[in-house]
Structure 1
Amino acid sequence: MKQFKFPTARMLIALALVGMAWGSGPALAQQRDADQPIEVEADQLDLDDTAGTAVYTGDVDIRRGTMQLTGNRVEIRRNQAGELTRAIATGERAYIEQQPDPDEPVVRGWGRTIIYHVAERRVELIDRAELHQRGDTFDGGYLEYFLDRRVVQARAESEGVEGRQRIRMTLQPER
């Protein structure tokens, strides 16, 4: 089995945040944010080279440019090749945001769990999920947002979610 040297925590967070771009113009948002410094605040970091994980706990706040990811716990996972595969934020109200373009509003998402699948450029918002995009809002037990296509899929129920959280939407008229 091929061994890999796990990158420093700074490199790990840099890769995570570079890969997390919202909405249209992902290349623009990624480049603009990639040019910014990374700021991480947490009470604790546990880095595991063998498992390919970095786990931040205690009021975690990660920022880079227009990107922000917060939660009580944020775990970043990498594969054997050292590539970022997933970022998972959990907490009473985990949060993710980014402004895709200077002329567009910030896209915001909340949930008790937020899972960002890097290769698929897909975000799952789970349990008390909420997404705000261009004045439109989506709420429910489970929301899935495909970043490049701006596709939202929503369900009232999801595994591990207590009770039914009906889907609610508010869609603004086209201008």
Structure 2
Amino acid sequence: MNVESDAMRYDDLKQTNVFTGRVVMTKGTIIIRGARVDVRQDAEGNQFGVVTAEPGKLAYFKQKREGLDEYIEGEGETIEYSSKLDNVRFIKRAVMRRLVGSKVNDEITGGLIVYDNTTDVFTVDNNLGGQNTQNGRVRAMLTPKAAASAPAGTASSGTGPVLRPSTTLEGAQK
């Protein structure tokens, strides 16, 4: 884990680090940015982080998906990450995007978004602690996945058989 910040406080007894001031943290393919990042480590070496944004701004998280040219990125007033559960929670004014390469493919907004990296499942809720956010609605923009390679004899658009050139019209020579 590499961290840049304006200040840091480490507590060896509690196994906690508190980074403050324009924090940028990288761990493998994970990038985290926020005003404050609290990191603790358990006895098994699992790391847990809470990222807090500056007032009026959003904290940021990005991670490459295993074996794909895809990324999950998101923002929220608070972001919680658990290496043990391999999940991330975007809290308040939450936005999560799935990028294919550098292009936004899906985008979801809500009060709370939980993304489980091990199962590739995310849940979105707008009733955060009894407070409705985003006018009480979850919003999603989902792009259809590209069709798998089409079976032989069908068009790549999946609309029917592939037409072959012909020199005849209704069986008669042209």
> Of residues 63, 68, 74 in structure 2, which corresponds to 1:109?
74
* C-alpha contact (below 8 Å) 1:76/1:84 kept by paired residues: no
Unaligned runs of 5+ in 2: 100-104, 147-174
Instruction: Tell me the amino acid that sits aligned with residue 42 of structure 1.
Output: S
Runs of at least 5 residues in structure 1 that lack an aligned partner in the other structure: 1-13, 15-37
Match of 2:9 among 46, 69, 85: 46
Identity %: 29
Superposition RMSD in Å: 1.9
Cα 1:172–1:149, aligned 2, differ >3 Å: closer, same or farther?
same
1 or 2, which has the higher helix percentage?
1
CA shift at 1:102, angstroms?
7.1
Q: Which has the higher contact order (CA 8 A, sep 6+)?
A: 1
* Among 91, 94, 113, the residue aligned to 1:129: 94
2-structure distance, mates of 1:83, 1:64: 14
From the two aligned structures, give the one with the greater strand fraction. 2
Q: Distance in 2 between matches of 1:42 and 1:162?
A: 33
Question: In the superposition, relative to structure 1, how do residues 118 and 99 fare at CA in structure 2: closer, same or farther (>3 Å)?
Answer: closer
Aligned to 1:174: 145
Deviation of residue 164 (structure 1)?
2.0
Match of 1:164 among 133, 147, 153: 133
2:143 maps to amino acid: Q
Structure label with greater radius of gyration? 2
Report the counterpart of residue 45 of structure 2 in structure 1: 83
Question: CA separation in 2, counterparts of 1:82 and 1:119?
Answer: 9
Asked whether the 8 Å contact 1:55–1:75 carries over to 2, the reply is yes
Which residue of structure 1 aligns with residue 108 of structure 2?
Answer: 138
Q: Following superposition, which runs of at least 4 residues in structure 1 exceed 6 angstroms of deviation? A: none
TM-score, with normalisation over the residues of structure 2?
0.71
Tell me if the contact between 2:35 and 2:51 (Cα under 8 Å) persists in the aligned partners: yes
Distance 1:121 1:170, change over 3 A: same
TM-score (norm 1): 0.71
Residue 78 of structure 1, CA deviation: 1.7
Structure 2 Cα separation of the partners of residues 57 and 162 of structure 1? 28
d(CA) in 2 for partners of 1:150, 1:60:
27
Deviation at 1:112, TM superposition (A): 0.6
Counterpart amino acid of 2:49? A
